[in-house]
């Protein structure tokens, strides 16, 4: 009997497909890497299993990154397995090559990346010749069992997916060509004077970075100007009201800071105030009703922006939460969408969703859903239901499944989506807007009042949100005005000039940067016009978070609170690209055009060959510009350091490559200089000043050795007797032992705890805390781990006690002596282990900036099989600490040894019953053992069956069932 192989993108989706198909296709048997019954074999990738690479004859290894080997434009691309998932790839390929498998179904995520993941696996499985098995496409926009079954009833053909497949491959190859050639060309240019200065660029990441750099340049160059406003209070028979002077004849000019209500001299402001003080004013007034519709439904980018603004969530965190609500909880529709509308036949589903919300028991949401149903608000409208505005996926909305067991962060995001979904169906908010002009000839004063008459959709958000929408930028809006009778004269009770200063543009937050990426840098505030620009944006909704995170990882940008700030490395790259006149990598709108062409290709309106020819031409031009540049320096806006030359006391100025002495006025330079980017780490101007002033700085992180290893070091300036001048040197202290020389390290101190990466012991080593497997030791001469954290971070000493606490609990106490290298301001933060990033990061105060879900909030688990005292005791200590904190001053519950059956699920360490229940729930959720139809029922696997003594158990039975498995 022949079978059909279904390949999902993730194991959890494969399990959902099996559950959905079982009632209609029969029971599946579970194997190590797949599920199988008489009709289907279901397996999955774990994201990308295969990536493209240049054929061997075109590949250039690092160390030979010179212009002689550029550009690299291979006629075709080979494939290579992703190292960490090679075994998974082999398992999928094995199923694809089975003789009884005669058809494939691509069940990867519905979008460009899901298409690419499947196509590369299929190509790799075929080897030298195509696999030759017909392919159909499962296109899922919801993960409910019925939606999955409906998807199998409406599989798409190979021909229907051809455009998306071409766009997926073209995007991948274009990013490879621009990224590889651009990075190697700029690295070769920056390494001309020796060393290896890795300079990464990308087709989307670099134009995104240019947006941030351009904004920072405007801030730095901004010169604040004084201006004045004239504020008055007028008295009528019914009471007093405020007003502000304005020029009714004012028109926009080239002065972007000019406004109708601003004057530019104190004398003029005082003259106006003196002219009207104590005088009578005549009043004209106009009142008119106005309405405000709710915002559109969420796509991914607008959801990320809203979550960043409201909760401080990063774009990456929002995407992870939305993906969890879609995949794991089945509570939201597919999140990686750029659509803000629903299909025209979705009205019945929308009504059913309101019915689910009204009956859900969610007391903060259910009443509004009931109101909408009673008022017949769910009606067809082109603003919500429009097929022409639905791309591969529709807007993000709640599904018919009410969620349970959400984390706090998941609940916040779910509520955000549900409120927006309900609001779009509610009536518009209705206001009465009154504009009152009080005139003391020839001067006019304006007062605006905006009174909410009917809240409409604002009722869903409560009074606080209604007040926020009512108010304006000025203090005289959003108020109930006292009435003025027709023809009544009013008195000028008070009038005062108010001195103010113009402000520079705000730095980007993730919310505003996502908006700028969406519109390719064009400042578009109107939501519906922004929607029309989306196809020309930078990246896609699914990739923008990763682009921002990549720039942060490469140290091109820093996150400080909610602000995103470019580093010196970013400015240096932009200076280089502008100097080389490589416009394509600098201008967001030009690169946005490439994204538009990819979307045209998806629709069959542009050929893959034409697009790739344009990318190849762009690549060749970029390399040619770098290769043929023959001037000594790159023109740019360079700094002059405050600290004098240590050799002659002269002025030290920046150029493209170095900070160099230009001598005292009227004197020749002495020859002192130092490179801006030693070992690939670029000095900030403040750091260079501190280095000259103190003759040393650090320890600083972010350096890379010639072999590519990251290291931390102090930098010192020492006098060289031979050169009769000062020169820059690295000062490793004890760290040089092992890191640079290869000498074996012996640790003399006691272990601080278990390494969060590999579970080995962490020790002090020179100016760092390092994993014992991150340096050469007698036990392991070749390092295999990367964990390292400085003993001083941004001038904050990190004591042994704090590092021990971080390793044991996931984060330190709140430390208050960090100093930003960018702003020179002190700030407070916890140091926390960030599992996703694989490093120690900052965690700010929860009230302002909530921590990432899952990051630095759990005990760091020791490596499986670890038996040291440190590894064994950590979880027990944490359990006791948590219980004490929650129930102080009551004594923490003593841990009890679990039975053999329970130990197979939660481990062998003694635990209190609450901790055992918590661990059991972690196991249940990790293995998706909640009944999809009734989340309160746990379906037992083999391990849980031994604990429960039956095939299933209710969630409220768990504590009782565990009691018999916890002995003394």
Catalytic residues: 334
Residues 6+ apart with CB under 8 A from 557: 209, 212, 548, 551, 564, 565, 566, 567, 570
Host H or E run for residue 938: strand 937-939
- Find the length of the chain: 968
| Helix (H), strand (E), coil (C) string for 635-684 | CCCCCECCCCCCCCCCEEEECCCEEEEEECCCCCCCCCEEECCHHHCCCC
> CA end-to-end span of the chain, whole Å?
55
Calpha distance 590→574 (Å, rounded):
16
- Separation between Cα atoms, residue 65 and residue 187, nearest integer Å: 8
CA-based nearest residue to 296, from 253, 262, 340, 256: 340
The sign one gets for the Cα dihedral 665, 666, 671, 675 is positive
Tokens read off for 60:
């250039």
C-beta of residue 807 within 8 angstroms of C-beta of residue 756 = yes
Give dist(CA 358, CA 371) in Å, integer. 9
Burial of 906 (0-12, 13-18, 19+ CB in 10 A): buried
Compute the distance between CA of residue 573 and CA of residue 590 in angstroms, rounded to an integer.
Answer: 18
Say how far apart CA 110 and CA 394 lie, in whole Å: 11
d(CA 630, CA 159): 50
Rg (C-alpha) for the chain, rounded Å, is 32
Give one DSSP letter per residue of 461-480, joined into a string. Answer: GHHHHHHHHH--SSTTSS-P
Helix (H, G, I), strand (E, B) or coil at 770: strand
Q: Tokens for 799?
A: 């004591």
Query: What is the β-pairing status of strands 792-793 and 796-797?
Result: antiparallel
Per-residue H/E/C for 114-143: HHHHHHHHHHHHHCCCCCCCCEEECCCCCC
Neighbours of 215 (CB within 10 A): 22
Residue 532: how many CB atoms within 10 A of its CB? Answer: 12
Q: Based on the number of CB atoms within 10 Å of its own CB, is 75 exposed (0-12), middle (13-18) or buried (19 or more)?
A: exposed
What is the secondary structure of 169-228 as a DSSP string? HHHHHHHHHHHHHHHHHHHHHHTTTSS-------TTHHHHHHHHHHHHHHHHH----EEE
Tokens of 450: 């905006």
Alpha-carbon distance values, 299 to 116, 125, 402, 868 (Å): 22, 35, 21, 49
Cβ 168 vs Cβ 119: under 8 Å: yes
CB-based contact 568:682 (threshold 8 Å): yes
CB-based contact 89:124 (threshold 8 Å): yes
Cα–Cα distance for residue pair 747/745, rounded to 1 Å = 6
β-pairing, 101-107 vs 40-44, is unpaired
For every residue of 785-837, which 3-state class applies, written as one string? Answer: CCCEEECEECCEECCHHHHHHHHHHCECCCEEEEECCCCCCEEEEEEEEECCC
């Amino acid at each position: 009997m022949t079978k059909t192989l279904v390949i999902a993108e993730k194991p959890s989706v494969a399990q959902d497909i099996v559950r959905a198909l079982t009632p209609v296709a029969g029971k599946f048997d579970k194997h190590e890497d797949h599920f199988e019954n008489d009709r289907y074999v279901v397996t999955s990738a774990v994201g990308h299993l295969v990536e493209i690479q240049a054929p061997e004859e075109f590949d250039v290894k690092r160390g030979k990154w010179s212009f002689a080997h550029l550009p690299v434009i291979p006629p075709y691309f080979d494939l290579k397995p992703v190292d960490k998932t090679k075994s998974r790839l082999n398992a999928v390929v094995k199923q694809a090559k089975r003789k009884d498998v005669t058809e494939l179904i691509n069940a990867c995520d519905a979008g460009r990346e899901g298409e690419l993941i499947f196509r590369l696996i299929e190509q790799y499985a075929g080897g030298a010749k195509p696999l030759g098995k017909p392919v159909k496409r499962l296109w899922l926009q919801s993960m409910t069992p019925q939606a999955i079954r409906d998807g199998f009833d409406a599989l798409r053909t190979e021909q229907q997916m051809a455009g998306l497949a071409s766009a997926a491959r073209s995007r991948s190859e274009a990013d490879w060509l621009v990224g590889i050639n651009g990075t190697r060309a700029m690295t070769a240019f920056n390494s001309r004077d020796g060393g290896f200065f890795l300079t990464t660029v990308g087709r989307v990441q670099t134009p995104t970075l240019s947006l941030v750099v351009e904004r920072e340049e405007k801030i730095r160059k901004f010169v604040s100007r004084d201006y004045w406003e004239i504020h008055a209070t007028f008295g009528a028979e019914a009471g007093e009201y405020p007003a502000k002077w304005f020029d009714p004849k004012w028109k926009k000019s080239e002065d972007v800071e000019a406004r109708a209500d601003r004057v530019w001299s104190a004398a003029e402001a005082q003259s106006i105030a003196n002219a009207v003080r104590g005088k009578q004013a005549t009043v004209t007034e106009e009142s008119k009703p106005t309405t405000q519709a709710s915002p559109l439904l969420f796509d991914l980018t607008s959801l990320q922006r809203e979550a960043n603004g409201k909760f401080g969530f990063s774009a990456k965190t929002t995407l992870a939460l939305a993906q969890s609500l879609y995949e794991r909880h089945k509570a939201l529709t597919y999140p990686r969408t750029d659509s803000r509308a629903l299909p025209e036949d979705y009205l019945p589903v929308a009504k059913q969703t309101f019915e689910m919300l009204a009956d859900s028991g969610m007391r903060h949401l259910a009443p509004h859903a009931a109101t909408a149903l009673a008022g017949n608000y769910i009606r067809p409208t082109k603003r919500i239901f429009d097929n022409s505005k639905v791309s591969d996926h529709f807007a993000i909305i709640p599904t018919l499944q009410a969620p349970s067991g959400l984390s706090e962060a998941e609940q916040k995001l779910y509520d955000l989506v549900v409120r927006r979904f309900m609001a779009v169906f509610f009536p518009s908010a209705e206001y009465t807007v009154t504009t009152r002009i009080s005139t003391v000839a020839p001067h006019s004063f304006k007062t605006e009042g905006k009174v909410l008459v009917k809240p409409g959709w604002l009722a869903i958000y409560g009074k606080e949100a209604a007040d926020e929408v009512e108010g304006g930028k000025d203090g005289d809006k959003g108020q109930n005005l006292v009435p003025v009778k027709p023809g009544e004269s009013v008195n000028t009770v008070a009038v005062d000039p108010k001195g103010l200063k113009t402000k520079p543009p705000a730095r980007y937050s993730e919310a505003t940067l996502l908006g700028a990426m969406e519109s390719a840098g064009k400042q578009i505030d109107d939501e519906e016009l922004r929607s029309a620009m989306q196809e020309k944006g930078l990246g896609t909704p699914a990739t923008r978070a990763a682009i921002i995170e990549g720039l942060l990882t490469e140290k091109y940008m820093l996150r400080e609170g909610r602000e995103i700030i470019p580093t010196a490395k970013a400015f240096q790259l932009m200076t280089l690209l502008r100097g080389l006149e490589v416009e394509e990598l600098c201008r967001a709108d030009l690169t946005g055009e490439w994204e538009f062409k990819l979307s045209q290709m998806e629709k069959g309106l542009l050929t893959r060959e034409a697009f790739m020819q344009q990318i190849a031409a762009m690549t060749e031009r970029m390399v040619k510009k770098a290769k043929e540049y023959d001037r000594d320096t790159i023109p740019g806006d360079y700094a002059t350091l405050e600290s004098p030359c240590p050799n002659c006391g002269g002025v030290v100025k920046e150029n493209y490559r170095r900070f160099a002495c230009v001598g005292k006025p009227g004197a020749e330079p002495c020859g002192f200089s130092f490179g801006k980017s030693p070992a690939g780490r670029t000095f900030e101007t403040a750091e260079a000043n501190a280095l000259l002033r103190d003759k040393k700085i650090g320890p600083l992180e972010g350096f890379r050795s010639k072999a590519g290893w990251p290291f931390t070091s102090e930098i010192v300036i020492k006098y060289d007797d031979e050169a009769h001048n000062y020169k820059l040197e690295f000062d490793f202290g004890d760290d040089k032992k092992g890191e640079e020389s290869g000498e074996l390290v012996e640790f003399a101190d006691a272990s601080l705890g278990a390494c969060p990466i590999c579970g080995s012991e962490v020790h002090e080593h020179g100016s760092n805390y390092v994993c014992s497997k991150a340096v050469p030791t007698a036990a392991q001469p070749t390092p295999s781990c990367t964990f390292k954290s400085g003993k001083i971070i941004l001038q904050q000493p990190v004591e042994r006690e704090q590092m021990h606490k971080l390793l044991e609990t996931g984060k330190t106490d709140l430390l208050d002596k960090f100093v930003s290298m960018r702003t020179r301001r002190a700030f407070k933060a916890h140091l926390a282990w960030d599992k996703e990033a694989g490093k120690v990061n900052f965690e700010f105060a929860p009230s302002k900036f909530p921590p990432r879900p899952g990051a630095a909030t759990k005990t760091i688990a020791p490596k499986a099989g670890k038996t040291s005292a440190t590894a064994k005791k950590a979880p027990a200590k944490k359990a006791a600490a948590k219980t004490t904190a929650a129930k102080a001053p009551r004594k923490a519950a003593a841990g009890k040894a679990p039975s053999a059956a329970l130990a197979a699920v939660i481990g062998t360490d003694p635990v209190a019953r609450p901790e055992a229940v918590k661990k059991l729930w972690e196991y249940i959720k990790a293995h998706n053992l909640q009944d999809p139809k009734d989340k309160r029922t746990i379906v037992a696997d083999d391990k849980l069956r031994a604990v429960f003594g039956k095939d299933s158990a209710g969630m409220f039975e768990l504590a009782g069932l565990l009691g018999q498995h916890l002995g003394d």
